[in-house]
Structure 1
Protein backbone atom coordinates (compact mmCIF):
# COMPACT_ATOMS: atom_id res chain seq x y z
CA UNK A 1 0.00 0.00 0.00
CA UNK A 2 3.07 2.25 -0.02
CA UNK A 3 2.67 5.25 -2.23
CA UNK A 4 5.49 6.87 -4.18
CA UNK A 5 4.12 10.36 -3.72
CA UNK A 6 3.80 12.21 -0.47
CA UNK A 7 0.17 12.26 0.62
CA UNK A 8 -1.03 15.59 1.92
CA UNK A 9 -3.04 16.43 5.04
CA UNK A 10 -6.58 15.14 5.02
CA UNK A 11 -5.99 12.58 2.27
CA UNK A 12 -3.16 11.06 4.32
CA UNK A 13 -5.20 11.02 7.54
CA UNK A 14 -8.09 9.25 5.78
CA UNK A 15 -5.65 6.67 4.42
CA UNK A 16 -4.14 6.14 7.90
CA UNK A 17 -7.60 5.74 9.43
CA UNK A 18 -8.64 3.16 6.81
CA UNK A 19 -5.40 1.25 7.25
CA UNK A 20 -5.82 1.12 11.04
CA UNK A 21 -9.48 0.07 10.74
CA UNK A 22 -8.52 -2.82 8.47
CA UNK A 23 -5.69 -4.16 10.62
CA UNK A 24 -6.19 -6.62 13.45
CA UNK A 25 -2.87 -5.78 15.06
CA UNK A 26 -1.09 -2.56 16.02
CA UNK A 27 0.83 -0.69 13.32
CA UNK A 28 4.03 1.17 14.23
CA UNK A 29 4.50 4.85 13.51
CA UNK A 30 7.54 3.97 11.39
CA UNK A 31 5.47 1.60 9.23
CA UNK A 32 2.75 4.24 8.79
CA UNK A 33 5.43 6.79 7.86
CA UNK A 34 6.88 4.50 5.19
CA UNK A 35 3.44 3.79 3.74
CA UNK A 36 2.57 7.49 3.61
CA UNK A 37 6.03 8.65 2.52
CA UNK A 38 6.30 11.13 5.41
CA UNK A 39 8.24 11.30 8.68
CA UNK A 40 7.19 9.51 11.85
CA UNK A 41 6.65 12.93 13.48
CA UNK A 42 4.06 13.78 10.82
CA UNK A 43 2.29 10.50 11.66
CA UNK A 44 2.30 11.39 15.38
CA UNK A 45 0.60 14.67 14.51
CA UNK A 46 -1.91 12.95 12.22
CA UNK A 47 -2.82 10.43 14.92
CA UNK A 48 -3.28 13.28 17.41
CA UNK A 49 -5.66 15.02 14.99
CA UNK A 50 -7.60 11.79 14.39
CA UNK A 51 -7.90 11.20 18.13
CA UNK A 52 -9.13 14.79 18.56
CA UNK A 53 -11.98 13.83 16.19
CA UNK A 54 -12.86 11.05 18.65
CA UNK A 55 -11.51 8.25 16.46
CA UNK A 56 -10.88 5.32 18.84
CA UNK A 57 -7.14 5.06 18.18
CA UNK A 58 -4.76 4.21 20.98
CA UNK A 59 -0.99 4.07 21.10
CA UNK A 60 0.28 0.78 22.49
CA UNK A 61 3.80 -0.47 23.02
CA UNK A 62 3.41 -2.37 19.72
CA UNK A 63 2.05 0.57 17.70
CA UNK A 64 -1.25 2.29 16.93
CA UNK A 65 -4.49 0.34 17.19
CA UNK A 66 -8.04 1.14 16.15
CA UNK A 67 -10.08 0.13 19.22
CA UNK A 68 -13.37 -0.95 17.64
CA UNK A 69 -11.71 -4.21 16.60
CA UNK A 70 -11.21 -5.18 20.22
CA UNK A 71 -14.57 -3.89 21.40
CA UNK A 72 -16.46 -6.22 19.02
CA UNK A 73 -15.56 -9.26 21.12
CA UNK A 74 -15.61 -7.62 24.56
CA UNK A 75 -18.65 -8.22 26.71
CA UNK A 76 -17.13 -7.39 30.09
CA UNK A 77 -14.63 -4.94 31.54
CA UNK A 78 -13.15 -4.73 35.03
CA UNK A 79 -10.39 -2.86 36.81
CA UNK A 80 -8.28 -4.86 39.25
CA UNK A 81 -5.61 -3.68 41.66
CA UNK A 82 -2.34 -5.58 41.75
CA UNK A 83 0.95 -5.34 43.57
CA UNK A 84 4.24 -6.99 42.69
CA UNK A 85 7.85 -6.36 41.79
CA UNK A 86 8.86 -5.71 38.15
CA UNK A 87 10.24 -9.24 37.76
CA UNK A 88 6.70 -10.65 38.07
CA UNK A 89 5.15 -8.49 35.33
CA UNK A 90 5.57 -11.09 32.60
CA UNK A 91 4.08 -13.78 34.87
CA UNK A 92 1.08 -11.53 35.61
CA UNK A 93 0.43 -10.66 31.97
CA UNK A 94 0.87 -14.26 30.75
CA UNK A 95 -1.55 -15.53 33.39
CA UNK A 96 -4.18 -13.05 32.22
CA UNK A 97 -3.82 -13.60 28.46
CA UNK A 98 -3.80 -17.39 28.98
CA UNK A 99 -7.28 -16.96 30.48
CA UNK A 100 -8.47 -15.14 27.37
CA UNK A 101 -8.19 -11.68 28.93
CA UNK A 102 -6.99 -8.58 27.10
CA UNK A 103 -4.99 -6.26 29.35
CA UNK A 104 -6.09 -2.85 28.10
CA UNK A 105 -3.90 -0.60 30.24
CA UNK A 106 -2.01 0.00 33.44
CA UNK A 107 -2.79 2.83 35.84
CA UNK A 108 -1.18 4.12 38.99
CA UNK A 109 -2.20 6.71 41.54
CA UNK A 110 0.88 8.90 41.85
CA UNK A 111 1.13 11.07 45.00
CA UNK A 112 2.08 14.17 42.98
CA UNK A 113 0.72 13.67 39.44
CA UNK A 114 -2.51 11.86 40.32
CA UNK A 115 -3.78 9.13 38.00
CA UNK A 116 -1.27 8.12 35.34
CA UNK A 117 -2.15 5.49 32.78
CA UNK A 118 -0.62 3.87 29.74
CA UNK A 119 -2.12 1.49 27.18
CA UNK A 120 -0.76 -2.04 27.08
CA UNK A 121 -3.25 -3.90 24.84
CA UNK A 122 -1.88 -7.42 25.10
CA UNK A 123 -4.11 -10.42 24.33
CA UNK A 124 -1.66 -13.29 23.84
CA UNK A 125 1.80 -14.47 24.89
CA UNK A 126 3.43 -13.12 21.73
CA UNK A 127 2.19 -9.62 22.50
CA UNK A 128 3.33 -10.00 26.11
CA UNK A 129 6.80 -10.99 24.88
CA UNK A 130 6.91 -7.96 22.56
CA UNK A 131 5.87 -5.67 25.42
CA UNK A 132 8.49 -7.07 27.82
CA UNK A 133 11.16 -6.99 25.08
CA UNK A 134 10.43 -3.34 24.38
CA UNK A 135 10.67 -2.48 28.09
CA UNK A 136 14.00 -4.31 28.28
CA UNK A 137 15.37 -2.90 25.02
CA UNK A 138 14.60 0.69 25.97
CA UNK A 139 15.59 0.17 29.62
CA UNK A 140 12.27 1.80 30.54
CA UNK A 141 10.69 1.51 33.96
CA UNK A 142 7.26 0.08 34.64
CA UNK A 143 4.73 2.63 35.91
CA UNK A 144 4.25 0.45 38.98
CA UNK A 145 7.85 1.16 40.01
CA UNK A 146 6.70 4.69 40.91
CA UNK A 147 4.25 3.31 43.47
CA UNK A 148 6.24 0.45 45.01
CA UNK A 149 4.51 -2.11 42.79
CA UNK A 150 0.90 -1.02 43.30
CA UNK A 151 -1.01 -0.60 40.04
CA UNK A 152 -4.35 -1.20 38.35
CA UNK A 153 -5.22 -2.92 35.08
CA UNK A 154 -8.34 -2.51 32.98
CA UNK A 155 -9.18 -6.01 31.80
CA UNK A 156 -11.39 -6.88 28.82
CA UNK A 157 -13.04 -10.26 28.34
CA UNK A 158 -15.86 -12.09 26.59
CA UNK A 159 -17.68 -12.67 29.89
CA UNK A 160 -17.88 -11.72 33.56
CA UNK A 161 -17.02 -15.35 34.33
CA UNK A 162 -13.66 -14.96 32.55
CA UNK A 163 -12.94 -11.86 34.64
CA UNK A 164 -13.92 -13.75 37.82
CA UNK A 165 -11.46 -16.52 36.86
CA UNK A 166 -8.71 -13.95 36.26
CA UNK A 167 -9.36 -12.30 39.62
CA UNK A 168 -9.22 -15.68 41.38
CA UNK A 169 -6.00 -16.65 39.58
CA UNK A 170 -4.28 -13.36 40.47
CA UNK A 171 -5.33 -13.78 44.09
CA UNK A 172 -4.04 -17.37 44.15
CA UNK A 173 -0.51 -16.33 43.14
CA UNK A 174 -0.48 -13.35 45.49
CA UNK A 175 -0.66 -10.48 42.97
CA UNK A 176 -4.16 -9.16 43.67
CA UNK A 177 -4.56 -6.31 46.14
Structure 2
Protein backbone atom coordinates (compact mmCIF):
# COMPACT_ATOMS: atom_id res chain seq x y z
CA UNK A 1 0.00 0.00 0.00
CA UNK A 2 1.44 3.39 -0.96
CA UNK A 3 1.42 6.42 1.34
CA UNK A 4 -1.68 8.08 -0.12
CA UNK A 5 -3.68 4.86 0.08
CA UNK A 6 -2.54 4.41 3.68
CA UNK A 7 -3.60 7.97 4.57
CA UNK A 8 -6.99 7.40 2.95
CA UNK A 9 -7.34 4.22 5.02
CA UNK A 10 -6.49 6.16 8.21
CA UNK A 11 -9.19 8.71 7.39
CA UNK A 12 -11.65 5.91 6.70
CA UNK A 13 -10.89 4.07 9.95
CA UNK A 14 -11.11 7.22 12.08
CA UNK A 15 -14.32 8.45 10.38
CA UNK A 16 -16.07 5.12 10.87
CA UNK A 17 -15.05 4.72 14.51
CA UNK A 18 -17.51 5.71 17.22
CA UNK A 19 -14.64 6.43 19.61
CA UNK A 20 -11.12 7.90 19.31
CA UNK A 21 -8.66 5.63 17.48
CA UNK A 22 -5.20 5.22 18.98
CA UNK A 23 -2.05 5.60 16.92
CA UNK A 24 -0.98 2.15 18.09
CA UNK A 25 -4.19 0.62 16.74
CA UNK A 26 -3.73 2.38 13.39
CA UNK A 27 -0.10 1.21 13.19
CA UNK A 28 -1.15 -2.39 13.85
CA UNK A 29 -3.99 -2.26 11.30
CA UNK A 30 -1.74 -0.80 8.60
CA UNK A 31 1.37 -2.82 9.49
CA UNK A 32 3.55 0.27 9.93
CA UNK A 33 5.29 1.94 12.86
CA UNK A 34 3.56 4.44 15.10
CA UNK A 35 5.94 7.12 13.76
CA UNK A 36 4.67 6.48 10.23
CA UNK A 37 1.13 7.03 11.53
CA UNK A 38 2.17 10.31 13.21
CA UNK A 39 3.75 11.50 9.95
CA UNK A 40 0.65 10.47 7.99
CA UNK A 41 -1.59 12.34 10.42
CA UNK A 42 0.48 15.51 9.86
CA UNK A 43 0.13 15.09 6.09
CA UNK A 44 -3.62 14.48 6.42
CA UNK A 45 -3.96 17.72 8.40
CA UNK A 46 -1.84 19.58 5.84
CA UNK A 47 -4.36 18.49 3.21
CA UNK A 48 -7.21 20.13 5.12
CA UNK A 49 -8.77 17.22 6.99
CA UNK A 50 -9.70 18.28 10.51
CA UNK A 51 -8.23 15.27 12.32
CA UNK A 52 -7.59 15.94 15.99
CA UNK A 53 -5.40 14.20 18.50
CA UNK A 54 -6.94 13.61 21.91
CA UNK A 55 -5.55 11.81 24.93
CA UNK A 56 -7.59 8.77 23.85
CA UNK A 57 -6.72 8.79 20.15
CA UNK A 58 -7.55 10.46 16.87
CA UNK A 59 -10.94 11.83 15.87
CA UNK A 60 -12.17 13.69 12.82
CA UNK A 61 -14.01 16.82 13.78
CA UNK A 62 -16.98 17.24 11.49
CA UNK A 63 -17.82 20.85 12.21
CA UNK A 64 -20.56 21.55 9.71
CA UNK A 65 -18.63 24.32 7.97
CA UNK A 66 -18.02 26.59 10.95
CA UNK A 67 -15.64 29.51 10.57
CA UNK A 68 -12.44 29.47 12.62
CA UNK A 69 -9.95 32.04 13.82
CA UNK A 70 -6.81 31.93 15.90
CA UNK A 71 -6.65 34.51 18.67
CA UNK A 72 -3.86 35.42 21.03
CA UNK A 73 -4.81 36.24 24.57
CA UNK A 74 -3.34 37.10 27.94
CA UNK A 75 -5.04 37.26 31.31
CA UNK A 76 -4.80 35.98 34.85
CA UNK A 77 -6.18 32.64 36.02
CA UNK A 78 -8.96 34.58 37.75
CA UNK A 79 -10.06 35.94 34.35
CA UNK A 80 -10.24 32.60 32.52
CA UNK A 81 -13.95 32.11 33.15
CA UNK A 82 -14.70 35.65 31.94
CA UNK A 83 -12.72 35.02 28.73
CA UNK A 84 -14.57 31.75 28.07
CA UNK A 85 -17.96 33.32 28.87
CA UNK A 86 -17.14 36.15 26.44
CA UNK A 87 -16.50 33.61 23.69
CA UNK A 88 -19.54 31.39 24.29
CA UNK A 89 -22.01 34.19 25.17
CA UNK A 90 -21.31 35.73 21.77
CA UNK A 91 -21.92 32.48 19.86
CA UNK A 92 -18.44 30.97 19.75
CA UNK A 93 -16.63 27.85 20.81
CA UNK A 94 -13.14 27.80 22.34
CA UNK A 95 -11.86 24.70 20.57
CA UNK A 96 -8.44 24.52 22.19
CA UNK A 97 -5.67 26.21 24.11
CA UNK A 98 -2.18 26.54 22.64
CA UNK A 99 1.00 27.87 24.19
CA UNK A 100 4.40 28.53 22.66
CA UNK A 101 6.70 27.22 25.38
CA UNK A 102 10.38 28.12 25.18
CA UNK A 103 11.49 24.55 25.79
CA UNK A 104 8.61 22.36 24.64
CA UNK A 105 7.68 24.60 21.67
CA UNK A 106 4.00 24.42 20.73
CA UNK A 107 1.79 22.66 23.27
CA UNK A 108 -1.88 22.24 22.46
CA UNK A 109 -4.85 20.84 24.37
CA UNK A 110 -8.48 20.50 23.28
CA UNK A 111 -11.10 22.50 25.19
CA UNK A 112 -14.30 22.35 23.12
CA UNK A 113 -15.96 24.89 25.40
CA UNK A 114 -19.17 25.99 23.69
CA UNK A 115 -21.42 26.85 26.66
CA UNK A 116 -21.26 28.41 30.11
CA UNK A 117 -21.71 24.93 31.55
CA UNK A 118 -18.64 23.66 29.64
CA UNK A 119 -16.65 26.66 30.90
CA UNK A 120 -17.71 26.03 34.51
CA UNK A 121 -16.81 22.32 34.27
CA UNK A 122 -13.37 23.27 32.92
CA UNK A 123 -12.81 25.78 35.73
CA UNK A 124 -13.94 23.30 38.37
CA UNK A 125 -11.29 20.89 37.13
CA UNK A 126 -8.62 23.60 37.28
CA UNK A 127 -9.73 24.89 40.68
CA UNK A 128 -9.69 21.37 42.12
CA UNK A 129 -5.92 21.77 42.28
CA UNK A 130 -5.21 18.60 40.34
CA UNK A 131 -4.30 20.49 37.16
CA UNK A 132 -3.02 23.87 36.06
CA UNK A 133 -3.76 25.81 32.92
CA UNK A 134 -1.31 25.65 30.04
CA UNK A 135 -1.08 29.44 30.07
CA UNK A 136 0.33 29.32 33.61
CA UNK A 137 3.58 28.13 31.99
CA UNK A 138 3.75 31.23 29.78
CA UNK A 139 2.78 34.06 32.15
CA UNK A 140 -0.81 33.97 30.90
CA UNK A 141 0.01 34.22 27.18
CA UNK A 142 -1.84 31.68 25.04
CA UNK A 143 -3.78 31.12 21.83
CA UNK A 144 -7.19 29.68 21.08
CA UNK A 145 -8.78 28.45 17.92
CA UNK A 146 -12.30 29.80 18.20
CA UNK A 147 -15.14 28.82 15.91
CA UNK A 148 -18.54 30.28 15.13
CA UNK A 149 -21.27 30.11 12.52
CA UNK A 150 -19.86 33.04 10.53
CA UNK A 151 -17.06 35.60 10.33
CA UNK A 152 -19.29 38.36 11.72
CA UNK A 153 -19.72 36.39 14.95
CA UNK A 154 -15.96 35.91 15.18
CA UNK A 155 -15.54 39.68 14.71
CA UNK A 156 -17.95 40.35 17.62
CA UNK A 157 -16.06 37.90 19.86
CA UNK A 158 -12.72 39.46 18.95
CA UNK A 159 -14.06 42.99 19.60
CA UNK A 160 -15.39 41.93 23.02
CA UNK A 161 -12.06 40.33 23.95
CA UNK A 162 -10.26 43.51 22.82
CA UNK A 163 -12.58 45.66 24.94
CA UNK A 164 -11.77 43.54 28.00
CA UNK A 165 -8.03 43.76 27.33
CA UNK A 166 -7.54 40.03 26.73
CA UNK A 167 -6.90 40.12 22.97
CA UNK A 168 -3.37 40.56 21.59
CA UNK A 169 -2.12 40.81 17.99
CA UNK A 170 -0.93 37.50 16.56
CA UNK A 171 2.77 36.77 16.20
CA UNK A 172 4.03 36.30 12.63
CA UNK A 173 4.92 32.63 13.16
CA UNK A 174 1.44 31.58 14.24
CA UNK A 175 -0.32 31.94 10.89
CA UNK A 176 2.43 30.02 9.10
CA UNK A 177 2.60 27.19 11.60
CA UNK A 178 -1.07 26.86 12.47
CA UNK A 179 -3.39 27.38 9.53
CA UNK A 180 -7.01 27.29 10.65
TM-score of the pair, normalised by structure 1? 0.65
Q: Are positions 1:47 and 2:46 aligned together?
A: no
Residue 160 of structure 1 deviates from its aligned partner by 0.8
Deviation at 1:174, TM superposition (A): 1.0
Which runs of structure 2 are paired with 1:139-154 in the superposition (5 Å)?
Answer: 139-154=130-145
Verify: 1:87 aligned to 2:78, yes or no: yes
Match of 2:61 among 61, 68, 78: 68
Q: Give me the whole-angstrom Cα distance separating, in 1, the residues matched to 2:107 and 2:157.
A: 23
RMSD: 2.8
**For residues 18 and 101 of structure 1, do their structure 2 counterparts lie closer, same or farther at Cα, with a shift above 3 Å needed?**
same
Deviation at 1:65, TM superposition (A): 8.6
3-state SS of the aligned residue for 1:19? coil
The number of residue pairs the alignment matches comes to 136
1:19 aligns with 2:12: no
Residue in 1 aligned with 2:121?
130
Aligned-partner Cα distance in 2 for 1:65–1:147: 27
CA distance in 1, matches of 2:64, 2:57: 18
Q: Flag structure 2 segments of 5+ consecutive residues without an equivalent.
A: 1-12, 27-36, 42-49, 169-180
The answer (yes or no) to whether the contact 2:54–2:110 under 8 Å persists in 1 is yes
Counterpart Cα distance in 2 of 1:134 and 1:65: 23
Task: Give the C-alpha shift of residue 136 in structure 1.
Answer: 2.1
Does the 8 A contact of 2:81 with 2:123 survive in 1?
Answer: yes
Give yes or no for the alignment of 1:116 onto 2:115: no
1: CA distance, partners of 2:73 / 2:100: 12
Equivalent position SS for 2:109? strand
- Using the TM superposition, give the Cα deviation of residue 68 of structure 1 relative to its aligned residue in structure 2, in angstroms: 3.1
